[in-house]
Amino acid sequence: MKPVTNIHREPTSDAIDSFRECRAVALAIPDGPALAWTEALNSAGIKVLDLSGAHRLRDEIHYGIPELWGAPSADAAVVANPGCYPTATLLGLAPLLRAKAIDATPVAVVGASGTSGAGKTPRDDLHFSALFGNTFPYKVGSHKHIPEIARHLGTPVTFVTQLLPIVRGILVTAFVKPTRSPQDVLHTLQSFYADQPYVTVLPEPGPGLGVAHVVGSHQAVIAVGPADDGGLVPVFATIDNLMRGAASQALTNLNLWLGLPQHAGLPQPLAHVGNDVPPMTRALP
């Protein structure tokens, strides 16, 4: 695999020629350059897996969460790798909406993320002295992942994010109105993911949802809580935003697209995720 250099210039014929031997190219660059590079690479007959948001809202582009949408077509030219918050939210909610185990509206989602999920642009609120021992909401009402989540769920969502004083990991909590008992909602998820080794559905929420369980892995951990007095049920999902929310999901999509074993190159599925206290560095080498 060859890196794309000088991504802010238009792709030249010489630059594209350097990729002629590639069956597919993964782009992890901003939206604007990703569009230009995708067009140029596709014109040269080269597949593009795009980790930017440039193609995630297009009907004709395969949206790459394999557990939910399967493998890309072999003749597809582009695959859109989903965002990190949408991945966690959709893994928890999409099977429930498909089974009509929850109402389509209202759906409210609170997402908590480490600072690596907030982008790499330097900001005052990402300084160590501002975030250490602190947490606060950000981009309320304007988060870029709201349209992506709503589109692929097929229903409007209220989505709020907050920063945690950690580097990586995401925990989303969705509040939904069940059409069945909370136990039936749980069983729907357990049945849907029964043959998916990289998705763990806990019997109940607890410390097993801690991000320290999943950091460094491709695992998603999901749980369902009891209904509260208002009749809403919380659905939880935890992932590593840099792995399942980006790199390892991209690798899985490429494997499926190119006819390779789906999980080639991934860390092994977590053998056990329970409601014990997450170890501080469970998955990192």
Is the dihedral angle over the CA atoms 268, 272, 275, 278 positive or is it negative? negative
The 3-class secondary structure across 6-62, one letter per residue, is CCCCCCCHHHHHCCCCCCEEEECCCHHHHHHHHHHHHHCCCEEEECCCCCCCCCCCE
- Of the listed 77, 78, 80, 84, which one is catalytic? 84
Question: Tokens at residue 186, please?
Answer: 């749980």
Verify whether residue 22 is a known catalytic residue: no
Question: Tokens at residue 129, please?
Answer: 């002295």
- Name the burial class of residue 36, with classes exposed (0-12), middle (13-18) and buried (19+) by CB atoms within 10 angstroms of its CB: middle
Inter-residue contact 96 to 189 (CB < 8 Å): yes
* DSSP 8-state assignment for residue 3: -
Q: What whole-number distance in Å separates Cα of residue 195 and Cα of residue 189?
A: 11
Which three-class secondary structure state does DSSP give residue 114? coil
Task: State phi, psi for 232 to the nearest 5 degrees.
Answer: -90, 150
Spatial strand order of the sheet with 24-27 comes to 24-27, 47-50, 78-80, 62-63
Q: What whole-number distance in Å separates Cα of residue 217 and Cα of residue 220?
A: 9
CB atoms within 10 A of CB 213: 26
Give counts: helices (H), strands (E), the chain: 8, 11
Q: What whole-number distance in Å separates Cα of residue 156 and Cα of residue 158?
A: 7
Return the active site residues: 84
